[in-house]
Amino acid sequence: MTVDDDPGVSRAVARDLRRRYGDRHRIIRAESGEAALGALREMKLRGEAVAVILADYRMPQMSGIEFLEQAMDVYPGARRVLLTAYADTGAAIDAINIVDLDHYLLKPWDPPEEKLYPVVDALLDAWLEADYRPVPETKIIGHRWSARSSEVREFLARNQVPYRWYSADEPEGQRLLAAAGADGDCLPVVITPDGEALVEPSDPDLAGRVGLATTPSESFYDLIVVGGGPAGLGAAVYGASEGLRTVLVERTATGGQAGQSSRIENYLGFPDGVSGAQLTDRARRQAARFGAEVLTTREVVSLEVNGSARTVRFSDGTAIDAHTVIIATGVSYRQLTAPGLMPLTGRGVFYGSSLTEAASCKGQDVYIVGGANSAGQAAVYLSRHARSVTLLVRGGSLRQSMSHYLIQQIAGIGEISVRTHAEVAAAHGTDHLNSLTLRDTATGTTEIVDAEWLFVFIGAAPLTDWLDGVLVRDDRGFIVAGPDLSVGGERPRGWRLDRAPYHLETSVPGVFVAGDVRAESAKRVASAVGEGAMAVMLVHRYLEKL
Ligand SMILES: Cc1cc2nc3c(=O)[nH]c(=O)nc-3n(C[C@H](O)[C@H](O)[C@H](O)COP(=O)(O)OP(=O)(O)OC[C@H]3O[C@@H](n4cnc5c(N)ncnc54)[C@H](O)[C@@H]3O)c2cc1C
């Protein structure tokens, strides 16, 4: 970058620089300190790197030294050169101390081969040796212990959007905030690869910016799939591939629980296991390739029956209609209720979202609550980063709740220890978790342990209250379907068709259920995908008779 208030000089410097460096570098020219600072801030937000800045000393409004001082706040790694007239060399020498100047060049700099290029060559070499690599991807600046900051990281990670995380307390985080004109009171700030700064963005804001669809393109479909976990994605792939106009609606990010799994070992066709993120990414691309519309960050809040149409309403009040609906809303993590845990959620206490936080646990002691496979997988994954992982299990052993292969894996990892008959009695910390009270359920004794990280995997419940009074659900909220609806040979109340409900059909004809949200389902990725496919087959059967 070169800055000079005299347009003739500014053009001449830029021309000389371009001639020698134009094939490897972009030369930016500005005619005032203010304009140059504006350009630097934009480049900072876009994640571009600045190697060398040449500034004229005598400029109105802002001198070259004042400019370089501020430029240093934005790009501390850029090498700084002051262009001075002979009479100003004293000031230039003083500036070496003020702005840590790398060099001063006397005007005129002709011939550049002798006076300009050797200086800039040396500065470029020095700059290349230093580690100031550009970061063109999405950047998040937030607090380590902020619930919304970790939600945003989780959201981007689950949608396979690469990002780099900066703490607002670190110098580079502060530089980015300053470049974005943000004061740091409202965090997180997300900077898109184009350099747009989003302050405290909502999930739909983020989805829109990272290229995920959030609004339906039509008002009527053959099939609406609610929920984008394995069951919903399976239904969308089969529905669209078999020619149904299909839309999938997902509340947060596609993948569901499986998307949070570090390694699914038992899914057919992946003998070495597959991460939930990979499986989700492939499934989503497959659904899109077949022409299914996939909407994210759209929560469905009601289902209505309007003649032969089934109406699905979103939380913003808008709605879409279809001939048929497949509900694949899965289950959500149950929360621990011990005192102190609620306010620390996202501030050291996490439900399931171990994957995005794993790197932050490096060298630290981690506690995991739960004795099922999800807790076991998380323990294995986190043990690669953490100093120690303690699995807190209520029962006397893992044998009743965890697969044999995982128990063996855990036994072979020195960093993991299993504490049986253990539960969290309380959590302590103001800004973030710093200790836990653990209770031994066999003896009733308690102990306080230092802990900054607690991951909870204690089973899950279906969130189906929005279907209350519409569909038959069991006493835990799971949706009842097919033969399970007939009690003592009787068809469900309000059922007017002269046939019985199809296998995965709910108490409303044309509305099907698949995956974990179905009563008595298997709670496995493979069975969820299988039910999604089977539900589509039954959708066809329903449509044929419509
Ligand atoms: C950490 C972990 C590891 C696991 N590992 C394995 C494994 O190794 N092998 C295995 O077979 N199984 C495993 N499971 C279980 C497996 O992931 C689930 O059985 C499977 O994901 C169920 O799929 P689903 O589509 O029915 O529901 P879910 O995966 O729960 O997906 C439901 C989706 O619906 C969305 N949704 C909910 N309500 C709404 C609404 N109102 N509007 C819009 N969208 C909504 C949710 O956001 C979610 O994305 C694991 C589970 C976890 C949590």
Question: Which residue has the CA at smallest separation from atom 49 of ligand 1?
Answer: 256
CA distances from 147 to 92, 389, 431 (A): 48, 22, 11
Residue 134: predicted pLDDT: 58
For the CA of 532, the nearest atom of ligand 1: 25
Q: Where would I find the H helices in 162-272? A: 171-179, 203-209, 230-241
Atom of ligand 1 nearest to the CA of 531: 26
Q: What is the pLDDT of residue 145?
A: 83
Residue 9 burial (CB < 10 Å; 0-12/13-18/19+)? middle
Q: Say if strands 365-369 and 388-392 run parallel, antiparallel, or are unpaired.
A: parallel
Taking the centre of ligand 1 as the mean of its atom positions, its distance from the CA of residue 457, in whole angstroms, is 13
* CB-ligand 1 contact for 266 (6 Å cutoff): yes
How far does residue 122's CA lie from ligand 1's centre (Å)?
56
Atom of ligand 1 nearest to the CA of 460: 53
How far apart CA 6 and CA 85 sit, in angstroms, is: 13
The DSSP annotation for 111-129 comes to SHHHHTHHHHHHHHHHHHH
pLDDT, position 354: 59
Q: What is the atom index within ligand 1 of the atom nearest the CA of 254? A: 49
**Residues of the chain predicted below pLDDT 70:** 131-136, 353-355
Check pocket membership of 310 for ligand 1, CB cut-off 6 A: no
Spacing, Cα 256 to ligand 1 middle (Å): 4
Could you tell me if the CB of 256 is within 6 A of ligand 1? Answer: yes
**Contact assessment for residue 219 and residue 312, using Cβ atoms and an 8 Å cutoff:** no
Mutation probe of ligand 1 site: the residue of 284, 329, 466 with most atoms within 8 A of C-beta: 329
Minimum-distance ligand 1 atom for the alpha carbon of 263 = 8
264 lines ligand 1 (CB under 6 A): yes
Look at residue 347 and give its three-state secondary structure: coil
232 touches ligand 1 (CB under 6 Å): yes
Amino acid at 139: K
Look at the alpha carbons of 505, 511, 516, 517 in this order and tell me if their dihedral is positive or negative.
negative
**CB 33 near ligand 1, within 6 Å:** no
Most informative mutation of 525, 527, 534, 536 for ligand 1 (most atoms within 8 A of CB): 525
Residue 355 CB less than 6 A away from ligand 1: no
The pTM of the full predicted model, rounded to 2 decimals, is 0.76
Q: How far is CA 197 from CA 16, 156, 285, in A?
A: 34, 15, 28
**One-character DSSP codes across 348-412:** TEEES-HHHHGGGGTTSEEEEE--SHHHHHHHHHHTTTSSEEEEE-SSS-STTTS-HHHHHHHHT
Residue 242 Cα to ligand 1 middle (Å): 24
Please, which residues have CB within 8 angstroms of residue 499's CB and are 6 or more apart in sequence?
A: none
